[in-house]
Chain A
Amino acid sequence: MTTSTKKPRVSVHKFASCSGCQLAFINMGENLIKLTELVDIVHFAEAGPLGPDDEVDISFIEGSITTPHDVERLEKIREKSTFVITVGACATSGGIQALKNNADSDVWMRSIYAKPEYISSLSTSAAIKNHVKVDFELWGCPVDVKQMLAVVRQLLYGVAPLDINEKVCQECKRKNTVCIMVTKGEPCMGPVTRTGCGALCPSFGAPCYACYGPAENSNVKLLGERFIGLGLDQNVVKRKFLSIHNATPAFAEAKLLWSDTEGAQQ
């Protein structure tokens, strides 16, 4: 962090993503105005400011790395930033688009596009940390603005941001939400998923989708077996893990654990 009295400089960059996390940023309302009083936003294309090559104190990065050009751009951003924070599933774990890592992307490209030679793309969708050093990760699909603001505040105070990696169940219980896995046999991903959403889905009676990715010390095998015990097909169980955060090592274990009964491509 800078020690001068100048306002810290912040940039927001985008790679392969739906822009939902940047929208979460823009939708923060009054706090966005407050934020601009505390920091200089030098690059945030979706909101206006353009200065992609400027030196900054904090870079927020949304999106995964899918092209050779992405790699170059990312390396430059890393060089110019003191603190790099990934925002959202795509940047933090490769996103839903990392499902392509399990397929032959050349075959796909040739079968979909009339002129595949116009496309320059990597065979994988990778998390930012697979290419450069990341200082802090904000999980979620999309991220929670409260978490994002808390991180900015902690950095402005000059302390390392606090990482809470407990499971969704913990928040569920704090909210006094009745567990839908225990009462209704719903296949809830809460017991392996990182908190952050405030246990939103279970509080509306819907099983957790694992938007925030794997929590620390996640027992994927046991939860999958439990789902099978609740009557789910192996293939459905596998898909529950190979979703938004399919490329995380914890959830990718599902590929080895459960066979593909429908014969879809590996």
Chain B
Amino acid sequence: MAVQFLAPESLQNLLTVLEASGYQVMGPQLSEGAIVYDHINDVADLPRGIETLQKPGSYKLQQTSSTRFFNWANGPAALKPLLYKARQALWSCEQVAQAVNGGFVFKDLVPQAVPTAVIGVRPCDIAAMLIQDEHFIQSEYCDPYYKAERDALFTVAVNCSSCAETCFCASTGDGPSLDDGYDLLMDELDSGFLIRAGSTKGEQVLKKLPVTAASEDLTAMAAEQSAHAAEKQKRYLLDENMHANLFSQLDNRRWHDIAERCLSCGNCTSVCPTCFCHRETEQAELDGQSTRHFREWSSCFNADHSVMHGHSLRDSSELRYRQWMLHKLGSWIYQYGRSGCVGCGRCIAWCPAGIDFPAEANAISGEVELWEA
């Protein structure tokens, strides 16, 4: 199906059709001073006219006179918390009287995922999801917990028309407009939405919407809008040989300099939509008869991330920051054929210390020119 046009007053139909198709619908909303994905059934709850002002260590919302629903850049969480749960029970074990298997009964706790449609997904979030898909389900070991949630997910992505100061997806090739990986994709224009399907599921939903064929003028306008958004991005990540550059700089003084400014809090890795490190923990009942085994988000900024035989190999922020950057921008390329950064800028805005990840990466690779005076 070609590109279609959806009038602004028909946006509610999208929510209704998704609900009628059996999805719980989630969408961007204002909560605690940020844009977060939460349950939604009325377009009136969308952050209309809101823009996000994002700077190193700072995130603010601004009400504008715009009537657009998706004029903000992004919030603290991408799709990651919906697919790769922050805390996931993996299996349980119970001790029973019978002597089968030594008296232990193990149960897999793969979730019964609720079919979920998310509207207002950003292009960089889809790019990050495709990276996590590769990690969790396309590798040798398929992760059934992630897969259950992923199979139940329907995405309605919206190309970005307004980027934040922290965005640099244009330089990583992951935005501000999207090529694939979505179920439905929209462009928001002042006159309404352009909408297209990227999957069979998406086509089925699109068929039920009150759409008309989009004019060439409108599609040209949308393309121009995306190009304009890309041009406005001032941050960028050098991509020529970034991994080789970084690995040749293991002893660079700058790692030490960053460590003095870094809190080793791991907020950057938690908000990063591609980071997947975790720890596993055991939660036993007090009577000792049963236990549940959990996986929870962890970070290369935690001491236990690098413990071997009771000793933490990366015992300083210097080594931890280096690990985070070298993996994300360096060895990730050997693992997955691309860098682990989609340019969403979350690690910049949500770093309480305001450390600028791409600026540091460029500086370590020899490019010291900065975007801020």
**Among candidates B60, B270, B320, residue contacting A169 with C-beta atoms closer than 8 Å:** B270
Contact A169 to B286, CB < 8 A, known contacts A178-B34, A217-B316? no
Contact A153 B286 (CB under 8 A): yes
Q: Find chain B residues with CB under 8 A from A153 CB.
A: 284-286, 288
Contact B87 A174 (CB under 8 A): yes
Contact B33 A184 (CB under 8 A): yes
Decide if B372 is an interface residue (CB 8 Å cutoff): no
- Distance between Cα atoms of A166 and B349 in the complex (Å): 21
Interface residues of A in 147-181 (CB under 8 A from B): 149-150, 152-154, 156-157, 162, 164-167, 169-170, 173-181
Q: Find chain B residues with CB under 8 A from A178 CB.
A: 31-34, 36, 76
Contact A174 to B32, CB < 8 A, known contacts A169-B352, A219-B262? no
Decide if A116 is an interface residue (CB 8 Å cutoff): no
Among A80-88, A103-111, A187-195, A243-251, the one that faces the other chain is: A187-195
**Among candidates A37, A170, A190, A205, residue contacting B32 with C-beta atoms closer than 8 Å:** A205
Contact A190 B265 (CB under 8 A): yes
In the complex, the chain B residue whose C-beta lies closest to that of A175 is: B86
Contact A165 B303 (CB under 8 A): yes
| Binary contact readout B274-296 vs A (1 if CB under 8 angstroms, 0 otherwise) | 00000001011111100000001
Decide if B302 is an interface residue (CB 8 Å cutoff): yes
Decide if B330 is an interface residue (CB 8 Å cutoff): no
Decide if A53 is an interface residue (CB 8 Å cutoff): no
- Distance between Cα atoms of A226 and B351 in the complex (Å): 12
Decide if B267 is an interface residue (CB 8 Å cutoff): yes
Contact A183 B32 (CB under 8 A): yes
Decide if A115 is an interface residue (CB 8 Å cutoff): no
CB of A226 to closest CB in B, whole Å: 6
Decide if A35 is an interface residue (CB 8 Å cutoff): yes
Decide if B264 is an interface residue (CB 8 Å cutoff): yes
- Distance between Cα atoms of A233 and B77 in the complex (Å): 33
Q: Find chain B residues with CB under 8 A from A170 CB.
A: 265-266, 270, 297-299, 302
CB of B270 to closest CB in A, whole Å: 3
How many A residues touch B, CB cutoff 8 Å? Answer: 44
In the complex, the chain A residue whose C-beta lies closest to that of B283 is: A150
Q: Find chain B residues with CB under 8 A from A191 CB.
A: 263, 265, 267, 352-353
Q: Find chain A residues with CB under 8 A from B264 CB.
A: 167, 217-219
Contact B317 A219 (CB under 8 A): yes
Contact A219 to B32, CB < 8 A, known contacts A169-B352, A226-B352? no
Contact A173 B286 (CB under 8 A): no
Decide if A31 is an interface residue (CB 8 Å cutoff): yes
| Binary contact readout B50-84 vs A (1 if CB under 8 angstroms, 0 otherwise) | 00000001111000000000000000110001000
In the complex, the chain A residue whose C-beta lies closest to that of B267 is: A169
Q: Find chain B residues with CB under 8 A from A218 CB.
A: 263-264
Contact A173 to B270, CB < 8 A, known contacts A156-B288, A166-B302, A222-B261? yes
Contact A183 B86 (CB under 8 A): no
Q: Find chain B residues with CB under 8 A from A152 CB.
A: 286
Interface residues of chain A: helix, strand, loop or mixed (majority): helix
Decide if A24 is an interface residue (CB 8 Å cutoff): no
Decide if A34 is an interface residue (CB 8 Å cutoff): yes
Q: Find chain A residues with CB under 8 A from B108 CB.
A: none
Q: Find chain B residues with CB under 8 A from A222 CB.
A: 260-263, 353
CB of B52 to closest CB in A, whole Å: 10
**Among candidates A154, A183, A188, A192, residue contacting B33 with C-beta atoms closer than 8 Å:** A183
In the complex, the chain A residue whose C-beta lies closest to that of B270 is: A173
Contact A182 to B263, CB < 8 A, known contacts A170-B298, A175-B86, A176-B81? no
Contact B58 A182 (CB under 8 A): yes
**Among candidates B261, B284, B286, B317, residue contacting A34 with C-beta atoms closer than 8 Å:** B286
Interface residues of A in 173-228 (CB under 8 A from B): 173-185, 188, 190-192, 205, 216-219, 222-223, 226
- Distance between Cα atoms of A223 and B264 in the complex (Å): 11
CB of B75 to closest CB in A, whole Å: 8
Decide if B94 is an interface residue (CB 8 Å cutoff): no
Decide if A38 is an interface residue (CB 8 Å cutoff): yes
In the complex, the chain B residue whose C-beta lies closest to that of A32 is: B286
Contacts from A to B (Cβ < 8 Å): 31, 34-35, 37-38, 149-150, 152-154, 156-157, 162, 164-167, 169-170, 173-185, 188, 190-192, 205, 216-219, 222-223, 226
Contacts from B to A (Cβ < 8 Å): 31-34, 36, 57-60, 76-77, 81, 86-87, 260-267, 270-271, 281, 283-288, 296-299, 302-304, 315-317, 320, 349-350, 352-354
Given contacts A182-B349, A222-B260, 19 further A-B contacts (CB under 8 A): A149-B286, A165-B304, A166-B303, A169-B265, A169-B270, A170-B298, A170-B302, A174-B86, A174-B270, A174-B297, A176-B77, A178-B31, A179-B267, A181-B352, A182-B59, A184-B33, A217-B303, A217-B320, A222-B263
Please name 14 pairs of A and B residues whose Cβ atoms are closer than 8 Å in the assembled complex, sorted by A.
A38-B287, A166-B298, A167-B266, A175-B86, A176-B81, A177-B32, A178-B32, A179-B352, A180-B32, A188-B352, A190-B265, A191-B352, A217-B320, A219-B264
Q: Which 5 A-B pairs have the closest CB atoms?
A: A173-B270, A183-B33, A174-B86, A178-B32, A191-B263
